[in-house]
Amino acid sequence: MNGIFGMLTTPGVISIDGCIPPPKGYQCQMQRVGPMCRYAEDIALLVKAMASEETNCLNICSSFDHKKIRIFYMEGFRDMLVSPELSNDMKNALKRAVSHLEEKYDVDAVRIDLPLFMHAIDIISSCFSGHGRPSELMLSIHRDKGPVDWRSELPRLLMGRSVHSPGGVFTAMFEKKSCAAENESSTVSELSA
């Protein structure tokens, strides 16, 4: 609902070389690169340009039977502290888009709910653990590398003055909490032994 179209591609279709921070271990399986553009018609062209030889097997420009499309949609995430509910305008726009697709292509759209999404931060944090700390490699909007000090950046972020994205600040904060929990756990193990 931000005025652009995007596509999350299948793993391996578009190279993840050059992603910052560079993915390691299991992160390589999670990392995806895909096109974002103003018009949906441009997605196929961008995928073809970004993926080069890999698109030969995709047939992205050939026609297909629209009745075989499966449409799933969500009306937001439940029980999420960091994700506000959709506004009425956004819900109405989503419902109009779903109705349009159902009528135009004679398909049934399915509303889904992802109850485990409330644990997304824990899941993502566990994927980062053991492979270096991403916040140590993050770039600010000034393109300088360095660790993100979440304690000083969080107030700046809330005032709109941080040079880091909300994702970068929260990742640094959860990493710090995760490190503290790991250290506490190892200390308890040492004392028990």
Can you give the residue ranges of every domain in the chain? 1-63, 65-113, 117-182
Tell me what pLDDT residue 39 has. Answer: 92
Least confident stretch, 84-98, 151-165, 170-184: 170-184
Query: Average of pLDDT values for 121-126?
Result: 65
Q: Classify the C-alpha dihedral 97-99-102-108 as positive or negative.
A: positive
Tell me what pLDDT residue 153 has. Answer: 83
**In the predicted model, is pLDDT for residue 62 greater than 90?**
no
Tell me what pLDDT residue 151 has. Answer: 84
What is residue 52's three-state secondary structure?
helix
How far apart are the C-alpha atoms of 25 and 36, rounded to whole Å?
26
Element at 109 (helix H, strand E): strand 109-111
Going from the C-alpha of 139 to that of each of 20, 22, 136, 159, the distances in angstroms are 8, 12, 9, 20
| 8 Å CB contact between 21 and 138 | yes
The DSSP letter of residue 145 is B
- CA neighbor of 15 nearest in space, from 31, 2, 3, 1: 31
Structure-token pair, residue 120 = 């997304």
Where does the pLDDT of residue 160 fall: very low under 50, low under 70, confident under 90, or very high at 90 and above?
confident
Tens of pLDDT, residues 5-50: 888 888 778 888 877 677 777 777 777 888 999 998 898 888 888 8
Looking at per-residue confidence, does 186 or 14 come out higher? 14
**In the predicted model, is pLDDT for residue 130 greater than 60?**
no
Going from the C-alpha of 109 to that of each of 74, 102, 114, the distances in angstroms are 10, 6, 16
Tell me what pLDDT residue 142 has. Answer: 53
What is residue 71's three-state secondary structure?
strand
Tell me what pLDDT residue 110 has. Answer: 94
**In the predicted model, is pLDDT for residue 107 greater than 70?**
yes
Beta bridge partners of 6: 36
Residue length of the chain: 193
Cβ neighbours of residue 51 under 8 Å, at least 6 residues apart? 9, 13, 14, 15, 58
Question: Which one-letter amino acid corresponds to residue 159?
Answer: M
Upstream peptide bond of 134 is cis (omega within 30 degrees of 0): no
Instruction: Give one word for 86, left, alpha or beta, with left for phi > 0 and alpha for psi -120 to 50.
Output: beta
Tell me what pLDDT residue 137 has. Answer: 47
**In the predicted model, is pLDDT for residue 96 greater than 90?**
yes
